[in-house]
Amino acid sequence: MNKRDRKTNMKKDQFNIPEGMIYLDGNSLGPLPVAASARVQKTLQDEWGKLLIKGWNEAGWMQQPSGVGDRVGALIGAPKGTVVLGDTLSIKVYQALAAALNMNPDRRIVLSDSGNFPTDLYMAEGLLDTIDKGHELKTVASQDIESALNEDVAVLMLTHVDYRSGRMYDMERLTAKAQSFGIVVIWDLAHSAGAMPVKIEKSNAEFAVGCTYKYLNGGPGAPAFIYVRSDLTDTVQPALSGWLGHSAPFAFEQKYRAGAGIERMRVGTPPIIQLASLEAALDIWDGVDLNDIRERSIALSELFIKEVEARCPQLKLASPRDPKERGSQVSFAFEEGYAVVQALIARDVVGDFRAPNIMRFGFTPLFIDEDYVLKAVQILEDIMTQSVWDNPQFKKRSAVT
């Protein structure tokens, strides 16, 4: 264990995590930053409360989506002016895919992997049905993506880090290979932003999308982001042509004219209260080196795997063994995984479950260290050896798993 790194990255005092809880689910919903309450209060009381409608100008609300976009951009290797916040990740997927298809009008295949997060596939389905020109959403297993690339494919749309297994693609290499066939590339960074250094500009991908409520800790329902490669921001076609993406929103013109640069990817009125919370969360990232975060998250997940495999032989590693092929989460497969996760939660070790049999544990060095990992495995071992999970109370499913 490297003492320097632990000191560098651990910022647990900047989060409100309940005493005793070991939170291994920052990959699903990041914890509350201590500063978020005051920041949100300021937006409510000093901005909305005092300025009312004038907040749009005087509190800078109108510029927040691109201002915060630049801050998120800094965490994913995107230059200023290429990232904007707004909407949900689902909407941003739709927006990116519509724009990407426009760039390849003669091709009909959208390629993704069958393990992609469902909403990405669902939104693609909805868009292709709407376009109704014989497009096909083709999904193959992740290991078959590369061989499925060819000149019939219009768009390659992938999630960088798999939400279930944590399997991570080589973004640069895949993008280059896809582009060699003239394919437009979209990366979903939901499980990457804040988890590791992402070099989206360097990857040369045309588009990326992501959310800010996981590793970035923006809060439940924090807005999504979209990245557009800088040479395209002034020409990309926004299908979701909302007024705040218009060149002159307050001229109230009849016809849509896309705004300059990344602003055109805005749609409607930005969620100012959510953005306030997100800004407080981003403050924590100031000065954090994502290379250090990555190094620490690998150390933590390696330790977790080693300990679980030694102490809980019933669980089977469902993530790549090579840390270079993994994101910042580790998954184990177990038929009764749902009940085990519930038993863990009952003992304040919070991971989550993804159907059909995946137990997920996220390692977020801002608030998790080796001591927590060891304690979590200790409790997991207790649960497994004593078959605690077999208690019917843990088998009853909640609406949200």
Window 291 to 330, contacts with a second copy (CB under 8 A): none
Active site residue 372: no
Identify the bridge partners of residue 361 per DSSP, sorted by sequence position. 330
Binding-residue total with a second copy (CB under 8 A):
96
Out of 136, 141, 231, 268, name the contact with a second copy by CB under 8 A: 268
* Residue whose pair of structure tokens reads 């919370």 in the numeric block: 277
Active site residue 117: yes
Residue 114 neighbours by CB under 8 Å, 6+ apart: 139, 140, 141, 142
Q: What minimum distance in Å lies between the beta carbon of 45 and a second copy?
A: 6
Q: What minimum distance in Å lies between the beta carbon of 324 and a second copy?
A: 26
Q: Closer to a second copy at the Cβ: 96 or 299?
A: 96
Q: C-alpha dihedral over 24, 28, 34, 38, to 10 degrees?
A: -170
Q: Closer to a second copy at the Cβ: 269 or 378?
A: 269
Helix, strand or coil for residue 107? coil
Per CB under 8 A, does 68 bind a second copy? no
Per CB under 8 A, does 126 bind a second copy? yes
> Do residues 131 and 107 make contact, with C-beta atoms less than 8 angstroms apart?
no
* 197 closest CA partner among 177, 172, 175: 172
Amino acid identity, position 164 = R
DSSP 259: P
Per CB under 8 A, does 181 bind a second copy? no
Out of 1, 2, 12, 50, name the contact with a second copy by CB under 8 A: 50
> Do residues 155 and 104 make contact, with C-beta atoms less than 8 angstroms apart?
yes
Per CB under 8 A, does 100 bind a second copy? no
Span near a second copy by CB under 8 A; candidates 75-83, 170-178, 367-375, 392-400: 392-400
Out of 45, 378, 386, 391, name the contact with a second copy by CB under 8 A: 45
Site string for a second copy, 228-267 (x = CB under 8 A): ---------xxxxxxxx-x--xxxxxxxx----------x
Active site residue 353: no
Per CB under 8 A, does 376 bind a second copy? no
Out of 9, 14, 22, 25, name the contact with a second copy by CB under 8 A: 25
Separation CA 104–CA 183 (nearest Å): 8
Separation CA 64–CA 81 (nearest Å): 12
Which tokens is 376 given? Answer: 């979590």
What phi and psi, each to the nearest 5 degrees, are found at residue 259? Answer: -70, 170
Span near a second copy by CB under 8 A; candidates 6-14, 274-282, 301-309, 384-392: 274-282
Out of 1, 2, 12, 118, name the contact with a second copy by CB under 8 A: 118
Site string for a second copy, 328-367 (x = CB under 8 A): -----------------x----x-x-xx------------
Kindly report the number of other CB atoms within 10 A of residue 18's CB atom.
9
Residue 223 neighbours by CB under 8 Å, 6+ apart: 65, 85, 86, 87, 88, 212, 270, 271, 274, 275, 278
Identify the burial level of 149 via C-beta atoms within 10 angstroms of its C-beta, where 0-12 means exposed, 13-18 middle and 19 or more buried: middle
Separation CA 85–CA 1 (nearest Å): 37
Per CB under 8 A, does 162 bind a second copy? no
Per CB under 8 A, does 89 bind a second copy? yes
Active site residue 169: no
Q: Closer to a second copy at the Cβ: 98 or 383?
A: 98
Q: What minimum distance in Å lies between the beta carbon of 89 and a second copy?
A: 6
Q: What minimum distance in Å lies between the beta carbon of 91 and a second copy?
A: 6
Active site residue 214: yes
**Buried b / exposed e across 239-266, counting CB within 10 Å, b at 16+?**
ebebbbbbeeeeeeeeeeebbebbbbbb
Q: What minimum distance in Å lies between the beta carbon of 101 and a second copy?
A: 9
Helix, strand or coil for residue 161? strand
Out of 1, 2, 12, 49, name the contact with a second copy by CB under 8 A: 49
Per CB under 8 A, does 113 bind a second copy? no
Q: Closer to a second copy at the Cβ: 25 or 336?
A: 25
Per CB under 8 A, does 221 bind a second copy? yes
Per CB under 8 A, does 67 bind a second copy? no
Q: Which entry of 25, 188, 352, 369 is annotated as an active-site residue?
A: 188
Separation CA 115–CA 156 (nearest Å): 14
Which residues have a catalytic role annotated? 117, 188, 213-214, 360
